Amino acid sequence: MAAVPVLDESRFAYLKPTEVARLAQAYRFSGAAHAGQTRQSGEPYISHPLAVAEILAGWRLDSQALMAALLHDVMEDTSVTKAEISDTFGKPVADLVDGVSKLDKIEFQSAEDAQAENFRKMLLAMARDVRVILIKLADRLHNMRTLAAVAPAKRRRVAGETMEIYAPIANRLGLNELFHELQELAFSHTHPVRYRVLAKATRATRGNRREVVGKIEEAIKAKLAEASITAAVTGREKHLYSIYRKMIEKHLSFSEVHDIYGFRVVVKDNSNCYLALGVLHRLYKPVPGKFKDYIAIPKANGYQSLHTALIGPYGVPVEIQLRTEEMHRLAEAGVASHWMYKSDAESLSELQKKTHQWLQSLLEIQSQSGDAQEFLEHLKVDLFPDEVYVFTPKGRILSLPRSATAVDFAYAVHTDIGNKCVAAKVNGELVPLRTELRNGERIEIITTGYAKPNPAWLQYVRTGKARSNIRHFLKTMQYDESAALGERLLEQALKAAGHTPAEIDEESWQRTVRDSGAHSRQEVLVDLGLGRRLPAVVARRLLRKTEREEAKSGLPRSAGVSVVIRGTEGMAVQFASCCRPIPGDAIVGSMKKGQGLVVHIAECRQATRSRRAEPDQWIDVEWDRQPSRLFQSALRAMVTNQRGVLAKVASEIAGAGANIDTISMEEDRTVFTTMLFVLEVANRQHLARVMRALRRLSEVEKLARVRE
């Protein structure tokens, strides 16, 4: 067995002596807790928390974070409790350890649920204290560095998780060096053969390219010196994963990837960045469209640099980054710079502000997500932004993911703006809400007081904030509408038994709620509206019917009492797309679990088959005398195939006061062609007027309502 590692106090020399002493105490405490435990490599377990603390010391984190790093596995892997850690090392350290610890002691439905819940807990703890994620990232980095010791299946799973979640989080927090190392390590384990082949090919080309790279570096230094610009110029080799991504995305072979080397130019201030850029553009020709100014418009994680691509000697593409010393420190260390360079607090305030805003948005998304899987889905959306930058009417810059739409922009401005938006203007021109935004556009959102989110928005929004807000609103709306429908269904069931809702006292309700396993009367009503409970069963419980009395009474589902359909029930009532019922049709209703009440035409073949198979799911429904909305109905028209016939048909439909929702036409068009219209009409009489108007057209050969 390998020897137990010793705490090297020289690595923590930036701390006060009293803090180093406390750190040594935490090391001894952790060593005793993990005594006898080993890693899969055979090393004593304490070597892992010690390595994590040393990584954090490289970022110069404070003593509380380092103590938490040394203790981060004791709650998970030993009998030590949070209270013991709090008593010995203080509540802040205990909270950090708790934030990093996994939830292994809770039972989940699946491994995916457990993983998602772990991420949710970690990220919410991070929103309160960013040191939680820094400890977790250091923990993941050491695990990735020692991943060769674990089984291949677990190796691939952990590497995939790192690539999918942890590396993007490191990038989002501006930890550039860590981001690239995690990506490289994950790539080496997810695609080991490809990694080895690329590494070998890169080593083989180094000798050939070294002369070219040296020549370019000397030319850059000489040209900058000539312009009296003091700069540190370094050549760097591109990471293997970046080369691999380029080969995959652009379908290139390794020999076709020329820009394997890049250069970084570090100058003293912003103005010198732009001066140096002009000098380099005179030295080598710039590649059109490859210049990016992240100084004027920083990335969401605070990253600032000028990026340009040039055509160097022998036609070799050269990538160059230009930045100041301060920008360079931030680019490498991100939020960890707060601890590394405390003297630069003012310059770091913008980065901290952006990080805080992102972390707060996580809390907002969490509060609206139904479960951990949904939260993780929203998070992944925000971790792969590939940003597009747009302007508000007042000139504020917003960063959104690539392919973000006007709806994403509306929610990025404010949740209420998103919920009430009806249209958008891009550079002063009206556009649909699903319009994808492009860099530099000026966006204005038009709202109305009566508007509300549309479920169709979920098909094209890109940001986690927009997605979670839309889902939250729809769930709330469905909850309220389902409760109202449930109340009407229960009223129908009580009337069928010869009673009214007013006869039910509070005691009966409390007993029924308790016996049903629900938390409140409202929850019982919602379950009724969503088809999760049968109205007759709840009615019997409220009326205190015994099983024998129920059998005797044979309480009918409907005794001439019907649920009235007004058309204002929203998502709680759906109109079957197989037969598209409209007011005036004889109708029946089916209680579908999770969907609520689905209304069919009484003679609908699909409804007839289902009624025979599941008679208990069906209830009597009838139309309100004056429904307050339009309903969809379908018409099939066979028309003469000639120029302008569609315009004539559409004109007659509009003249009859109906809206056209969709039109489709058969592909095989000879003398005649068949059109299928989905119209919005008030009732059967309105539909009849539309059909009479269409039959007057000589071009219409046949016309029929589509009921199936």
Return left, alpha or beta for 683; rule: phi > 0 is left, psi -120 to 50 is alpha, else beta. Answer: beta
Task: State the Cα–Cα distance between residues 666 and 364, nearest whole angstrom.
Answer: 48
Helices (H), 421-558: 464-496, 506-516, 521-529, 535-542, 547-553
Burial of 664 (0-12, 13-18, 19+ CB in 10 A): exposed
Residues 6+ apart with CB under 8 A from 19: 12, 63
Half-sphere exposure of 127 (CA within 13 A, CB side): 17
Q: Report the 10 Å Cβ neighbour count for 145.
A: 13
SS (H, E, C) 237-273: ECCHHHHHHHHHHHCCCHHHCCCCEEEEEEECCHHHH
The candidate with the shortest Cα–Cα distance to 47, out of 86, 79, 3, 9, is 3
Task: State the Cα–Cα distance between residues 10 and 582, nearest whole angstrom.
Answer: 81
The candidate with the shortest Cα–Cα distance to 483, out of 451, 517, 530, is 530
Chain center to CA of 699: 51
76 a catalytic residue: yes
DSSP calls for 431-458 = E-TTPBP-TT-BEEEEE-TT----GGGG
Among 62, 77, 113, 364, the active-site one is 77
585 a catalytic residue: no
CB 577 within 8 A of CB 707: no
Burial of 104-143, coded b for 16+ CB within 10 Å and e otherwise, reads eeeeeeeeebbbbbbbbbbbbbbbebbbbbbbbbbbbbbb
CB 144 within 8 A of CB 182: yes
Among 9, 76, 98, 237, the active-site one is 76
Burial of 452 (0-12, 13-18, 19+ CB in 10 A): middle
* CA gyration radius, the chain: 33
Which residues make beta-bridge pairs with 445? Answer: 424
Q: For residue 397, what are the CA distances in angstroms to 292, 426, 427?
A: 16, 14, 14
- AA identity, residue 600: H
Task: State the Cα–Cα distance between residues 25 and 284, nearest whole angstrom.
Answer: 58
- AA identity, residue 468: S
Query: Structure tokens of 369?
Result: 């997500």
Active site residues: 76-77
